[in-house]
Amino acid sequence: MKKSDVYFQEIHKMTHFAEAIASAVEASGATLLSDYEMFLMACDVYRAKVVKYLRGEYPSVEQYKRARAVLKDANIIAADTDYSRLWRVVSRGKEAADEVVCSADPYCYISHLSAMQRYGVTLRRPEALYITRPTNEVVKNLIADRKAKDRPRLTFSQEVIGAPALLQVRHPRRVRGRNVSVKKTKFPGAFRPVRGSTVRVASIGQVFLDMLEDPKVCGGMSHVLEVWDEHAQTYLKEIIQRVEAAGTDIAKVRAGYILSERMDVSTKLLDVWVQHAQRGGSRKLDPDADYAPRFSDKWMISINVD
């Protein structure tokens, strides 16, 4: 017998409606859920028409809140200690910070030094969990798109019913006792889901691209060069494809220098990337260090890393 079934037997005020929502909560696999998401589950329960004693043609927000209170009393859900607007699914146990942030925010993913650690290309253990998410304005549009897609689930007798607000997630400074560092961008990178979890992590090509464009949060450029020297050959195809698809001009110049002059790699794309080199400019291999007189004549970039 499931733990949740035991709770339901002990709570005399449990309703068939609340029990059906609880089953949907458990089946979702989510670590955290919003009121909006659980209300959609309530709508699905009404639409399925298999639960007895449902009141009305569709659930009201007040009906949902009463059922939610039952789930809370039954210890199916609990108010989350880090994300005050969200509900923790108790059966999921004590999840790590990376699992929690990705469950809380469907638009973020693990990135930079934290992603490097996940792929095993660095031995460093970052104190903070690095995540990337779209800017608030981009997320606003993504939420509008999602609400449009959810309209059929909220439509009863050709009427769209009222639902709890779908709000943007605000990441706290610490999640499950770990510092969280958030980068917001208008142009999020490529990421992939981690099998068997709610975690999303930057693709390996994106990780190497991030090292070039934002080395400060990847251990610094000296460490970035160490990682490229040791691991770039293994992921060469993915790196070249991602830099070509999404890299800035300076990222292509940095990648071109590292691949051709440090690793002796030769591909047709490097001949294309070298066209982004700018004579007479002040480009640097390490954007966070001072300009140095050591110079790559081919890539027209200051090699300002020891």
Residues 188 and 215 in one domain: no
pLDDT score of 278? 87
Of 140, 173, 200, the last residue of a domain is 200
Residues 76 and 173 in one domain: yes
Residues 196 and 282 in one domain: no
Residues 184 and 229 in one domain: no
pLDDT score of 3? 57
Residues 25 and 83 in one domain: yes
Entry pTM: 0.91
Q: 163, 36 in Cβ contact below 8 A?
A: yes
Of 177, 200, 223, the last residue of a domain is 200
Domain containing 262 equals 203-302
Residues 63 and 94 in one domain: yes
pLDDT score of 185? 97
CB atoms near residue 170 (< 10 Å): 12
Residues 249 and 143 in one domain: no
Secondary structure, 3-state, the chain: CCHHHHHHHHCCCCCHHHHHHHHHHHHHCCCEECHHHHHHHHHHHHHHCCCCCCCCCCCCHHHHHHHHHHHHHCCCEEECCCCCCCEEEHHHCCCCHHHHHHHHCCCCEECHHHHHHHHCCCCCCCCCEEEEEECHHHHHHHHHHHHHHHHHHHEECCEECCCCCCCCCCCCCEECCEEEEEEEECCCCCEEECCCCCCEEECHHHHHHHHHHCHHHHCCHHHHHHHHHHHCCCCHHHHHHHHHHHCCHHHHHHHHHHHHHHCCCCCHHHHHHHHHCCCCCCCECCCCCCCCCCEECCCCEECCCC
pLDDT score of 111? 98
Ramachandran assignment for 158, one of left (phi > 0), alpha (psi -120 to 50 degrees), beta (any other): left
Query: What does pLDDT average to in each consecutive run of 10 residues of the chain (306 residues)?
Result: 54 74 95 98 95 91 96 96 97 94 97 98 96 98 98 96 96 97 96 94 98 97 98 98 96 97 94 91 92 94 93
End-to-end CA distance of the chain: 62
Residues 149 and 85 in one domain: yes
- The tally of domains found in the chain comes to 2
pLDDT score of 13? 44
Residues 56 and 153 in one domain: yes
Residues 260 and 150 in one domain: no
Q: Tokens 């999840």 map to which residue? A: 95
pLDDT single digits (tens) 66-107 = 999 999 999 999 999 999 999 999 999 989 999 999 999 999
pLDDT score of 71? 96
